[in-house]
Amino acid sequence: MRKNRSGRQSDRWSNPAPLIGLPVSKNDEVLIDIIGMNHDGEGVGRAEGYTLFVQGALPGEKVRVKVLKTKRQYGYAKLVEIVVQSPDRMEAPCPIYDQCGGCQLQHMDYTAQLAWKRQLVLDNLVRIGKLNVLDEGQSGESIGQGITLLPTIGMSDPWRYRNKAQVPIGETEDGLVGGFYARGSHRIVDMEACLIQHENNDEIVSHIKAIGRKLGITAYDEETGQGLLRHVVVKVAFRTGEMMVVFVTNGAKIPNVESWIAEITEAMPAVTSICHNINTKQTNVIFGDKTSVLWGNEVIYDYIGDVKFAISARSFYQVNPVQTEVLYGKTLDYAGLTGAETVIDAYCGIGTISLFLAQHAKKVYGVEIVPEAIEDARANAELNGITNVEFEVGASEDVIPHWKEQGITPDVIVVDPPRKGCDPRLLETILAMQPERVVYVSCNPSTLARDLRVLEDGGYRTVEVQPVDMFPHTVHVESVALLVRNFVKN
C-alpha cells in the first residue's frame, strides 16, 4: 500500500472511490438480461447500457446480480439469483466446479458449448479479421458469400479426455495435499478426482499423496521457498496404457526414494517411467532445467493415427489424443496431399504434424525453436522409419528464408503457432514463398483472425475454417483454416 505526502498510507488501490456517472456502484444489486458470453465464458449483460460480466450466467437468462467491481467502460458482478433460466443450463457434475478454475462451462449443455465456440470463432473472424464469413440463417439458407465456417467438431464422450495432470502440492496439518489452485489464488485445494482427467491420473496422484504423507515428505512453500515437493506430473498414453510419473522438487535429493518407487509400481503396474525434475528457483514455472530417470524408461509411447511417439518428461504432446487425431486429420485433408508435394511445418514441436503429413507427402521440412523438441522430432521420425522429413532448430522466420535460398519451394506451409499467433516475419516469409496452400492450426481465435487478415491482404483467400473442441467444458477452442493462393493474371 503506497503512502500519501503526509506519510499516511493511502487506500486508493484497496478501496477505490466510486466512478461518477455510472448507473451502478459496487455492492448494488440489479436485474439484468444476459445477451451473450465473452471469451472467458462470463455472461454479458447490461444495466442501463453499462456492461457487466457475470461468471456462471448464460445467454438468454434474466439474473439478479451484485456488482463487485466497476471500471469506466465495464464492470464485474456476482450471480445472486437466476430469475429466468436458459434451456442450455445444466447441473455441473463436478462437486468442486465452483471452486476450481480448470473448467468454465460445465454448467452449459455440451451441444450449446459447441455452438458457442463456433460463434466465438465467427465473432473474431468478423470483428478482428474483418473477414467475410459465409453464415447460415435459421432456415439454413446461406447469407452472403465468403469463408465457410463449419460447425465445431465435438466429442461423443467429452469427459476424462486429458492424458496429462500437473498437480501442485501443498501441505496442511494432515500432511500433503494436491489438486488445484482455488479460483483467483495460489491456495491449493485438495482434490481426489477431476472429471476431465484420465481416471488413471487421478488414481496415481491419490497414491502419491498417501505415500508422501506416510513418509513425511514436505511440500514446497512459495512464500518461504522452503519444502521439497512442488508438483507431481503424471502422463498416460491412451493407446498403449503406459504411464509416467515426474516428481518436481525443490532440491536434488528425495528422501526414501526407494520406498516411493516400490509403492508406486506396486500400486500402479502401468507405470513404466518415474522421473525427477529439479527446480530450485522461486518461480511459478513448473519445470526446472535438470531431469533424470529414477526408475524405468526415459519415455512412454503413444500413437496418433499410425504414427508412434516417444513422450519424455518435458515433451510437449497434445493433451487430448482423441481430438488430436481429428484435428490432424482435418489438417491433412486441407493440405490436399497427393504424394508429390513439398511441405514446410512451422512450429513443428516434436514432429507430431510433420510425421502425420510425411506419410502422404514427397518431403516435409519441420522447424522449431526449442532444441529438445527437435531432438524428439528426429527420434520420432527414426522410431517410425520415416525418412522423408528433415528437422531444423531455429525460429521459423529465420530458418524458412534460408531454406528458400537453398531452393526449397514448398507447395504447402502448415503453421501451428502458440497463442500469440505467427511472428510477423513468418507471415512475410509465407507471402514471399507463395505456396499454393497454407494450413493454419490455431489455439486462439483472435490471433487466427489477425493473421488471416494479413495473409488475405497478401494474396491468399481463406476458403474454410473448422473449429475442433480439444478441451470440452473449458472456453478454449482449436481451429484449422485452409487458405489458397489467389492466381491473378497479368
Query: What does the block give as the cell for 187?
Result: 491456495
- Residue 145's CB is within 10 A of a number of other CB atoms, namely 9
Report the distance separating Cα 478 and Cα 463, nearest Å.
17
The residues carrying an active-site annotation are 443
Report the distance separating Cα 117 and Cα 114, nearest Å.
5
